[in-house]
Amino acid sequence: MDLKNMKRETKITYAEPCKNTGSHIQPLYQTSTFVFDNAEQGAARFAGEEPGYIYSRLGNPTVRCLEEKMALLEEGEDATVYGSGMAAVSASILAFVEQGDHIVAQQCLYGCTHSFLSEIIKKWGIEVTFVNDASNPENFKNAMRPNTKIVYIESPANPVMQLTDIKACADIAHENNARLIIDNTYMTPYLQRPLNLGADIVLHSATKYLNGHGDVVAGILVGSKEDMDTIRMTTQKDLGGITSPFDAWLMQRGIKTLAIRMKEHEKNAMEVAKFLEAHPKVKTIFYPGLPSHPQHQLAKEQADGFGGMIAFELHGGLEAGKVLMNNIEVFHLAVSLGTVDSLIQHPASMTHSPVPEEDRRAAGITDGLVRVSVGIENAEDLIDALDRALKLV
């Protein structure tokens, strides 16, 4: 995505002066409620007869500014913002299903997303079919039922970096009158815009690359105005998983440097991946930017780059991974991803520990898998740190 040549860049990248004060930075509206001029105005706003703000759970100017920017970035009509990625996941799904409905989802998902779909949603009498091999669209097609309302995917999948053909899954969903929801956290709209490939709703854990600085927990949905209005007036309003104005303000700060950061993340990830691929102690590496990745061609077709996430296995399995993680420098041993700092973690015992072992293995998440979020530090420093730690394995 060439933000430099986008006609709408000034609405995305640069600060616009506040029309009321001329403030260079978008003001922070840190308020819980908004004052009406009179009783009639309050009634009119609640009835939807007059535009304006009522209460920050129902809308806030700082949050709205972020929503507008995200809709532009993902080339959607509208967006809604949440207090966490999981609040966005649950809001997007619960808004469009009811008792007796069916969901098709890929097996390899973020651990808490998998738990939500495999455990919590069953309490509402909703069935879920998990697709083990999400690289083959036919598996999604074969899992569809007359009562399927949602197809849910990640591409690349967290953490095994398996890609799913977004357009093919969108076609399958629409042929069956279902919506395609995709988690685009790993790629961001800078590298991949699923709405243009047919997806109905794009989801982000904005905690990650969109904010980019490791100091906010948030989620974002982007889609049609009709779908966002439905979510806004149901699962967002009544379940209340909103973000704070301050966090929305911080995320706008992060988005200003998204293009610069993603270029560095990807450049560093490619160098680190090449180093790991050639290292004798590395058994397998998963990075779509490498020609050896089985879906390298698909990655080039449906995205503008390969991102900053890497997964790999060492010949020594879990024990070797522990030695690596306990001795590495520069990288931080921590979960989450997409911050300017490089992070390393063990999915089976950390981010994906909520997933039963049988399901983890079916998704390709072995006990020896290590996940790395490559930051924007000097690539030579990252490679040197890995090399020193690997010598101890």
Give the HSE-up count for residue 294: Cα atoms under 13 Å, Cβ half-sphere. Answer: 10
Cα 25 from Cα 6, distance rounded (Å): 22
Give the HSE-up count for residue 159: Cα atoms under 13 Å, Cβ half-sphere. Answer: 32
Closest residue by Cα to residue 87 from 193, 235, 255 = 235
249 SS3 class? helix
Would residue 110 show up in a list of annotated catalytic residues for this protein? yes
Cα 68 from Cα 12, distance rounded (Å): 9
How are beta strands 179-183 and 148-154 bridged, if at all? parallel
Cα 245 from Cα 346, distance rounded (Å): 33
Would residue 55 show up in a list of annotated catalytic residues for this protein? no
Q: Residue 369: phi, psi to the nearest 5? A: -75, 130
Q: How far is CA 341 from CA 255, 324, 333, in A?
A: 16, 18, 11
Cα 116 from Cα 58, distance rounded (Å): 25
Cis peptide bond prior to 51, omega within 30° of 0: no
**DSSP run (H or E) holding 79:** strand 78-82
For residue 104, the cross-strand partners are: 129, 151
Contact 72, 231 (CB under 8 A): no
How are beta strands 78-82 and 369-373 bridged, if at all? unpaired
Catalytic residue among 101, 183, 200, 227: 183
Would residue 208 show up in a list of annotated catalytic residues for this protein? yes
| The two three-digit tokens of residue 135, written as one number | 């690289």
Catalytic residue among 57, 263, 274, 361: 57
DSSP-assigned states of every residue in 92-116? HHHTS--TT-EEEEES---HHHHHI
Q: Residue 89: phi, psi to the nearest 5? A: -60, -55
Catalytic residue among 141, 149, 179, 208: 208
Contact 309, 186 (CB under 8 A): yes
Write the single-letter amino acid at 359: D
Contact 266, 305 (CB under 8 A): yes
Burial group, residue 165, by CB count within 10 angstroms (0-12, 13-18, 19+): buried
Catalytic residue among 29, 69, 78, 110: 110
- List active site positions: 57, 110, 183, 208
